[in-house]
Structure 1
């Protein structure tokens, strides 16, 4: 191949690269985090403990705007996470529970919030730092008995949060 043809081929490649990168569809984001133990509702779906839809393949993706108070984070195709009659397995725990988060993409963290019956029972600062791959929080529940704990991971560098519900029987 002549030098002139090589230069023309390289020039064509350089000029075409930006157009190709714009024209190709972008891959979906693989994100982000959920409570693995005691098993959250999405962890139960991923483990096939409970029969679920799309959430079984992406338990880490329950992401929605900050400020919501729903298990599905406002994501319509994860609505079954809000269904209290779905047959969620209830974990027997003490009044003090350690919740373990697992992250597939780690965002700077504003804070973590835990709610029972609409009342915030814990607020743990993330110091606007990127968390390690797993994080544990020990939370004291307000009472004994069956409860659904809504855990929220508020991201520090976006307007979104990740939502995770855990069904427990506190003794």
Structure 2
């Protein structure tokens, strides 16, 4: 075999290897096999990271749909201080309050508001629930159950049905003022997990 043919074979093998590696990385770093869902109204911290509006976010910028943790909130679920990351250390940036540095969605207290999800892979669903922080909550500390009103502002049961890829729920926001957080919980019926999204609000 000539040197030229050996070079061509080596080049072809390297091209094939590079293609295989690229495909594997795509699957591992946010491909549809691992995709689930995120809130895009109000825009969640995870989505703000993907958009580049929030920076220094770590891996969540590539997979805002993957904030998945144990279900059962508020009696179970993620640990206090790790609610926004759903106990996932790789998404720990979501738990950092950044001294109020997260972008906030502007909302009006006492008005109706439509919460929207983008589901990149739907599941049989128990329900969607939405929680808000209490007046006077500690805005500089990582989110805990004690900061939240543990009676949801709204619950939308699905009875095991699979929702569409775009989900909308209209709620009535309480008459709050100042900065708050919305904690959105999508509980899955056929696994032990739920999906969690934290959104910063300015009333």
**What's the TM-score bracket when you normalise by the shorter of the two chains?**
0.7 to 0.9
Give deviations 1:59-116, integer Å, cap 9, x for gaps: 0000000123511111111011111126211111123321110011000110011111
2:15 match: none
Distance in 2, Cα, partners of 1:97 & 1:163: 19
After superposition, residues 124-143 of structure 1 pair within 5 angstroms as 124-143=156-175
Q: Does the 8 A contact of 1:144 with 1:169 survive in 2?
A: no
For the pair 1:54 / 2:54, whether they are aligned, the reply is no
Query: Given the alignment, which residue of 111, 116, 124 partners 1:100?
Result: 116
2:14 match: none
| Cα deviation, residue 121, structure 1 | 1.6
Normalising to structure 1: TM-score of the pair? 0.79
4+ long deviations beyond 6 Å: none
Summarize the Cα distance change of 1:107–1:139 in structure 2 as closer, same or farther, 3 Å threshold.
Answer: same
Tell me, which stretches of 5 or more residues in structure 2 are unaligned?
A: 1-26, 134-147
Aligned residues: 144
Report the aligned-residue RMSD: 1.5
For the pair 1:112 / 2:117, whether they are aligned, the reply is no
1:84 match: 97
2:40 match: 36
Tell me, which stretches of 5 or more residues in structure 1 are unaligned?
A: 1-26
Normalising to structure 2: TM-score of the pair? 0.67
1:13 match: none
More strand by share: 1
1:164 match: 197
